[in-house]
Amino acid sequence: MGKFTRRAFMATGGLVGGGLALGFAFAPNRLTIYTADPDSADAQLNTWVMITPDNKVVVTVPHAEMGQGSQTGLPMMLADELDADWSTVSMVQAPATEIYANSDLARGFVLGDVSLPNSIFRLLDYSLFKLSGMIGVQNTGGSSAVRYTGNMAMRSAGAAAKHMLLQAAATRWGVSASSLTASESVVTHAASNQSATYGELASEAALMEVPLQPTLKSPDQFTLIGTSQPRFDIPSKVDGSAEYGIDVEVPGMLYAAIKHAPVFGSKYQATNLSEVRASRGVMDIVELDGAIAVVADNFWRAKIALDMMELQCIGGDRQSMTSAQIYDRYAEAALSEDGSYDADIGDTAAALAQSDRIVKASYRVPFLAHAAMEPLNCTASVTKDRCDVWVGHQNPLGARAAAAVAAGMDADNVTIHNRMLGGGFGRRTPTDFVTQAVTLSRQVGAPIKLIWSREEDIQHDMYRPAVANHMSAALDADGMPTAWTNSYTNSGQNEPAESPLTQYAIPNQSIKGVDVDSAVPIGAWRSVGHTQHSFFNESFVDELAVEAGIDPYQYRRKLLADMPRHRKVLDVAAQKAGWGEPLPAGRARGIAIEQSFGSIVAEVAEVSVSDDGDVTVHKVTAVIDCGTAVNPDSVVAQIEGGIIYGLTAALYGDIEIADGCVVQTNFPDYPMVTLQQAPDIEVHIINSGEAIGGVGEPGTPPIAPAVTNAIYQITGKRIRNLPISAHDLS
Amino acid sequence: MTIELRVNGVSHQLDIEEDMPLLWVLRDELGLKGTKFGCGVSACGACTVHVDGEAMRTCTLPVGAVDGADITTIEGLGADQAHPVQIAWIEKQVPQCGYCQSGMIMAVAALLDENPNPTRADLDDTITNICRCGTYQRVRAAVDELSQA
Ligand code: FES
Ligand code: FES
């Protein structure tokens, strides 16, 4: 870490011609708000906001843009505290360095400016990493950006800058700061009829003491937060000018196409190398860990040469593995008495023994690929003393670390040039493709752009884990549950920790995970553990309602009597969806609710099933309570998108394993919802004023159970394993 | 062999294999990166451009098959985001990650050229592009707005 000073100075390096640059600097175990000291050569100011003499505000955003709108929402949060004129605000993306890392922010702001013994610090760092890092990686926008970076860093920086601007004006005019008002980037002293713009005051403001704990607005004082603002990134996305990782051009760059050995854990051996080498444009063939790559002067040439290669898959111990085996093994494992408990409340065994209304069910969900629209790619240039990487990545720091290892150099010599992401959904958090590109560049001695084909993307993902479980419940005379048990398989990625829990008030609970080996590589997938557990929990509670003979909405309502936020979300969803109102024959509604990433979402799906068994989802009504919706239109968009993502999975999503390989290859056999199947979606926002919740992920979990619960109403068939398309509903 | 293409009003003569898909010619030979690679098997529409005014998926379209054709890519659709589809797309805030949107916009622009008032069924049948971010609701809203205009 560099040397820092509490005294404020103009950041002449960053701001030619004066102005105010304000950010946070991190010393080991401490976090403070600083401005830069130009005398300290190594001062590393992590700048969050700059105010230039021509009255422009530039906000640095540490999160990548995947379309979730964080690069607009975060500046809004800062600008609101600053009382800036929104039309003068722009953003730049932060470089990938530790000082912009989420965990530092979370740590700093949770602890304040205090020193800690190292031992505690490490522990805390880990839990905060889980808090900010793990959640953050899944969706660098909705689920972490606004909650942590926004609420903590952005708002504080805006409030601190405003405080300093007021101080500067007070000093200039010889009046008290409390007699001043600030609005729309102008400070006014009404009594003397004087005013000055932020730009005019910025250089003087930079000389003021930095407030360590600036006063933040209360929600009723927000002027920008809560209003729908057009996203900064959208214009570049309608004319082709937005630059994604795959669009990067580096002088002297070559292209690489890659094939991974299909059986997990195996290797490839090629036999006709000389023929492939002679193909037009081919420059090199490189063997990688479990894969082979062809390097050429054009991607297509690399790709056809690769396709020409006669490859033999050797080694690995999973050649005969199938989905059926995996599922059997999981179902068996979930029967185990052992496991680690998420909830062990009361005495479920006694409650089950006492009840004569027992409901039992076993559920299962498959592996899923992410299939982000932009196939995985990474461009790397390794020279003797430095490594440059151009990539769209959800975790640029992780990418930097992986690149450093692959390049055989210090992370300080690695620069990550983060580009827009053509979708991430969790797949752009692992670093496998970064390692490959860096390895290729190092080996070939030229900048390399590596692009995975869609087939590689589908067949060599880090999959959403398959999970199987066994559930049981005991009902009392009124049909309400007295006991709830759930034993499920946990192959890792069981995050967030609360995802298996039931949200309902049930006196006796036994919820536990039994460790299993996943058999295939797994990773975080939009909303992580909530995707599986919401399907299990919200289907099973529906089964209980049916057994009790109570309307599924009313049944949930009763169980949420002590949870007013949940109850309100559920009520509004039911009301907006016209719950209980008559529908055409063959149509029904299903409902589900899930709290995830700090937001509560309920969805009502209106579904029909044709005589042939074809399922149509006509309409989805969604309600979200995310505390405060920063940019409401972006919240609506994220819920719409989360529903489509979850609906694709519910209807069709299935990664099957046969002969140790993934069966699906590309969109024709791993189909997606398109306009044809996309329901009308209506999203309602409840601003409860509670802590700000994520929005990128919470739309996804409730849709699968909402749809299958509706299908049950129509057909009497309870879908206990996904996807829906695997069931004959005719 | 030498292939002649007119792309966004500019003529090019290229010495390339005639079976190279137009997508890679546009992206890697001509540096027009707005047209995207999504699947490579004509299943997603990310690579859609206009060939002599008609929407075509270019990832499986050999450049030899369009020798001499007039091609418009997203870069040539409208200067300063001024094409009606682009305006509606901004107004309705359609894109999320945006990666599918070049293809989506090109497909919709071609549909509206041919059928200025598409029904919902027309739209569903013609625009089979995949958007993994799930922007369909807004695509519909934007097209509705355009067809009422
Ligand atoms: S890339 Fe051409 S249709 Fe998908
Ligand atoms: S906007 Fe991301 S795939 Fe369509």
Task: State mean pLDDT over A174-178.
Answer: 97
pLDDT of residue A473 exceeding 80 = yes
What DSSP element (H or E) covers A60? strand A57-61
Q: Which of B27, B53, B77 is the last residue of a domain?
A: B77
Predicted confidence at residue A441, as pLDDT, reads 98
Helix or strand or coil: residue A507? coil
Measured CA to CA, the distance from residue A711 to residue A716 in angstroms comes to: 7
Task: State mean pLDDT over A600-621.
Answer: 97
Measured CA to CA, the distance from residue B138 to residue B141 in angstroms comes to: 5
For A192, the token pair is: 């003397």
Task: State mean pLDDT over A288-317.
Answer: 93
Cα angle A205, A211, A214 (rounded to 5 degrees) comes to 110
Mean pLDDT of chain B: 96
Q: Which of A403, A429, A451 is the last residue of a domain?
A: A451
Q: Which of B48, B100, B105, B128 to mutate to test the pocket of ligand 2 (most atoms within 8 A of CB)?
A: B100
* B100 alpha carbon, closest ligand: 2
Helix or strand or coil: residue A420? strand
Q: Is residue A407 part of a domain?
A: yes
Task: State mean pLDDT over A517-545.
Answer: 94
- Classify burial at A502, counting beta carbons within 10 Å of its beta carbon; exposed 0-12, middle 13-18, buried 19 or more: buried
Q: Which of B36, B92, B96, B128 to mutate to test the pocket of ligand 2 (most atoms within 8 A of CB)?
A: B96
Same domain, A309 and A333: no
Q: Is residue A646 part of a domain?
A: yes
Q: Which chain B residues have a beta carbon less than 8 Å from that of A230?
A: 90, 93
Same domain, B95 and B140: yes
| Four-residue CA torsion sign, A234, A239, A241, A245 | positive
Residue closest to A419 by CA, chosen among A440, A404, A434: A434
Q: Give the nearest partner residue to B90 out of A238, A375, A422, using CB atoms.
A: A238
Mean pLDDT of chain A: 86
Measured CA to CA, the distance from residue A258 to residue A247 in angstroms comes to: 18
Same domain, A19 and A39: yes
pLDDT of residue A12 exceeding 90 = no
Same domain, A25 and A40: yes
Q: Is residue A231 part of a domain?
A: no
**Residue A472 alpha carbon to ligand 2 centre in Å:** 40
Contact A239 B101 (CB under 8 A): no
Measured CA to CA, the distance from residue A38 to residue A52 in angstroms comes to: 17
Verify whether ligand 1 is closer than 6 Å to residue B14 (CB atom): no
User: For ligand 2, which residues put their CB under 6 angstroms from it?
Assistant: A 67, 373, 423; B 95-101, 131-133, 135
Per-residue model confidence as pLDDT tens digits over A86-143: 999 998 876 655 544 444 443 433 333 333 333 333 333 333 333 333 323 323 433 5
Please report which confidence band the pLDDT of residue A224 belongs to, taking 50, 70 and 90 as the band edges: very high
| DSSP β-bridge partners for residue A416 | A389
Predicted confidence at residue A96, as pLDDT, reads 58
Same domain, B72 and B102: no
Same domain, A439 and A472: no
Q: Is residue A237 part of a domain?
A: no
Contact B36 A66 (CB under 8 A): no
Residues making up chain B, counted from first to last: 149
Contact B123 A633 (CB under 8 A): no
Q: Give the residue on B whose Cα is nearest the Cα of A254.
A: B28
Predicted confidence at residue A32, as pLDDT, reads 38
Contact B137 A666 (CB under 8 A): no
Q: Which chain A residues have a beta carbon less than 8 Å from that of B98?
A: 67, 233-234, 236-237, 242, 420, 422
* B23 alpha carbon, closest ligand: 1
Q: Return the HEC string of A312-346.
A: EEECCCCCCCCHHHHHHHHHHHCCCCCCEEEEEEC
Measured CA to CA, the distance from residue B25 to residue B34 in angstroms comes to: 12
Q: Which chain A residues have a beta carbon less than 8 Å from that of B131?
A: 373, 644, 674
Q: Is residue A240 part of a domain?
A: no
Which residue in the block uniquely carries the two structure tokens 């549909």? B111
Q: Is residue A473 part of a domain?
A: yes
Same domain, B92 and B70: no
Task: Give the single-character DSSP code of A227.
Answer: S
Same domain, B66 and B92: no
For A640, the token pair is: 């719409």
Tell me the CATH number at B128.
1.10.150.120
Q: ipTM score of the complex?
A: 0.98
Same domain, A710 and A561: yes
Q: Give the residue on B whose Cα is nearest the Cα of A681.
A: B137
How far, CA to CA in Å, does A363 sit from each of A58, A533, B2?
50, 10, 59
pLDDT of residue A25 exceeding 60 = no
Tell me the CATH number at A90.
3.30.365.10
Report the number of distinct structural domains present in chain B: 2
**Side-chain half-sphere of A130: how many Cα atoms within 13 Å?**
11
First to last CA, chain A: 66
Residue closest to A189 by CA, chosen among A174, A211, A209: A174
* B138 alpha carbon, closest ligand: 2
Contact B36 A680 (CB under 8 A): no
* A668 alpha carbon, closest ligand: 1
pLDDT of residue A256 exceeding 90 = yes
Contact A238 B105 (CB under 8 A): yes
Strand A20-27 and strand A46-51: pairing? antiparallel
- Which of B7, B61, B96 is best to mutate for the A interface (most A CBs within 10 A)? B96
Contact B129 A674 (CB under 8 A): yes
Q: Which of B36, B61, B77 is the last residue of a domain?
A: B77
Task: State mean pLDDT over A214-229.
Answer: 93
pLDDT of residue B95 exceeding 70 = yes
**Residue type (1 letter), A44:** Q
Q: Give the nearest partner residue to B98 out of A67, A300, A642, using CB atoms.
A: A67
Measured CA to CA, the distance from residue A534 to residue A646 in angstroms comes to: 11
Task: State mean pLDDT over A65-91.
Answer: 92
pLDDT of residue A34 exceeding 70 = no
* A244 alpha carbon, closest ligand: 2
**Residue type (1 letter), A625:** D
Mention every residue, 6+ apart, whose C-beta is less than 8 A from residue A719.
A539, A708, A711, A712, A727
pLDDT of residue A167 exceeding 70 = yes
Q: What is the pTM of this model?
A: 0.92
Is-contact A601 A693, C-beta < 8 A? Answer: no
Task: State mean pLDDT over B52-81.
Answer: 95
Q: Which chain A residues have a beta carbon less than 8 Å from that of B8?
A: none
Q: Which of A451, A481, A506 is the last residue of a domain?
A: A451
Please report which confidence band the pLDDT of residue A18 belongs to, taking 50, 70 and 90 as the band edges: low
Per-residue b/e over A100-123, b at no fewer than 16 CB within 10 Å? Answer: bbbbbbbbbbebeeeebeeeeeee
Same domain, A203 and A219: yes
**Residue type (1 letter), A209:** E
CA A608 to chain centre: 31
What DSSP element (H or E) covers A421? none
Same domain, B125 and B99: yes
Q: Which of A234, A373, A526, A667 to mutate to test the pocket of ligand 2 (most atoms within 8 A of CB)?
A: A373
Measured CA to CA, the distance from residue A655 to residue A440 in angstroms comes to: 29
**Domain region containing A382:** 245-316+376-451
Strands, E, within A176-290: which ranges?
181-183, 186-189, 194-197, 254-260, 267-270, 282-288
Contact B98 A240 (CB under 8 A): no
Verify whether ligand 1 is closer than 6 Å to residue B47 (CB atom): yes
Same domain, B71 and B88: no
Per-residue b/e over A323-334, b at no fewer than 16 CB within 10 Å? Answer: beebbeebeebb
Contact B124 A675 (CB under 8 A): yes
Contact A300 B40 (CB under 8 A): no
Predicted confidence at residue A52, as pLDDT, reads 83
Same domain, A309 and A345: no
Per-residue model confidence as pLDDT tens digits over A642-676: 999 999 999 999 999 999 999 999 999 999 999 99
Q: Which of A170, A191, A225 is the last residue of a domain?
A: A225
Verify whether ligand 1 is closer than 6 Å to residue B46 (CB atom): yes
| Number of cross-chain residue pairs from A and B with Cβ atoms under 8 Å apart | 178
- Which of B137, B140, B144 is best to mutate for the A interface (most A CBs within 10 A)? B137
Same domain, A115 and A207: yes
Predicted confidence at residue A352, as pLDDT, reads 97
Predicted confidence at residue A87, as pLDDT, reads 97
**Domain region containing B34:** 2-77
Same domain, B69 and B18: yes
Measured CA to CA, the distance from residue A671 to residue B132 in angstroms comes to: 11
Q: Is residue A423 part of a domain?
A: yes
Per-residue model confidence as pLDDT tens digits over A439-449: 999 999 999 99
Measured CA to CA, the distance from residue A265 to residue B80 in angstroms comes to: 50
| DSSP β-bridge partners for residue A596 | A599
User: Which of A9-18, A378-387, A712-721 has the least mean pLDDT?
Assistant: A9-18
Please report which confidence band the pLDDT of residue A161 belongs to, taking 50, 70 and 90 as the band edges: confident
Measured CA to CA, the distance from residue A569 to residue A627 in angstroms comes to: 12
Q: Is residue A230 part of a domain?
A: no
Q: Which chain B residues have a beta carbon less than 8 Å from that of A245?
A: none
Report the number of distinct structural domains present in chain A: 3
Same domain, A338 and A283: no
Which residue in the block uniquely carries the two structure tokens 């150099």? A409
Q: Which chain A residues have a beta carbon less than 8 Å from that of B59?
A: none
More confident residue, A147 or A261: A261
Which residue in the block uniquely carries the two structure tokens 């493709």? A433
% of chain A beyond a pLDDT of 90: 70
Q: Which of B56, B77, B98 is the last residue of a domain?
A: B77
Predicted confidence at residue B34, as pLDDT, reads 98
Q: How many CB atoms lie within 10 A of CB A658?
A: 12
Q: Give the nearest partner residue to B98 out of A242, A638, A643, using CB atoms.
A: A242
Q: Give the residue on B whose Cα is nearest the Cα of A674.
A: B130
pLDDT of residue A398 exceeding 90 = no
Contact A680 B137 (CB under 8 A): yes
Predicted confidence at residue A61, as pLDDT, reads 79
Measured CA to CA, the distance from residue A68 to residue A486 in angstroms comes to: 34
- Classify burial at A717, counting beta carbons within 10 Å of its beta carbon; exposed 0-12, middle 13-18, buried 19 or more: middle
Measured CA to CA, the distance from residue A704 to residue A535 in angstroms comes to: 6
Measured CA to CA, the distance from residue A326 to residue A316 in angstroms comes to: 17
Predicted confidence at residue A214, as pLDDT, reads 79
Residue closest to B34 by CA, chosen among B77, B64, B2, B67: B77
For A516, the token pair is: 């299993």
Same domain, B45 and B93: no
* Nearest atom (ligand 1) to Cα of B40: 1
Measured CA to CA, the distance from residue A92 to residue B62 in angstroms comes to: 40
* Nearest atom (ligand 1) to Cα of B60: 2
Measured CA to CA, the distance from residue A72 to residue B149 in angstroms comes to: 30
Predicted confidence at residue A152, as pLDDT, reads 65
Per-residue model confidence as pLDDT tens digits over A414-433: 988 889 999 999 899 899 99
Find the helix packing angle between A632-651 and A703-715, rounded to 10°: 50
Radius of gyration of chain B (CA): 15
Is-contact A4 A25, C-beta < 8 A? Answer: yes
Nearest CA to ligand 2 atom 4: B131
Same domain, B73 and B113: no
Measured CA to CA, the distance from residue A650 to residue A645 in angstroms comes to: 9
Q: How many CB atoms lie within 10 A of CB B3?
A: 22
Q: Which of B74, B105, B132 to mutate to test the pocket of ligand 2 (most atoms within 8 A of CB)?
A: B132
For A159, the token pair is: 């409030």
Contact A237 B46 (CB under 8 A): no
Residue B45, min C-alpha distance to chain A (Å): 11
Q: Give the nearest partner residue to B99 out of A299, A373, A674, using CB atoms.
A: A373
Same domain, A144 and A53: yes
Residue B30, min C-alpha distance to chain A (Å): 12
Predicted confidence at residue A368, as pLDDT, reads 98
Same domain, A482 and A604: yes
% of chain B beyond a pLDDT of 70: 99
Q: Give the nearest partner residue to B97 out of A247, A423, A672, using CB atoms.
A: A423
Contact A374 B97 (CB under 8 A): yes
Residue closest to A671 by CA, chosen among A724, A608, A606, A710: A724
Please report which confidence band the pLDDT of residue A35 belongs to, taking 50, 70 and 90 as the band edges: very low
Please report which confidence band the pLDDT of residue A10 belongs to, taking 50, 70 and 90 as the band edges: very low
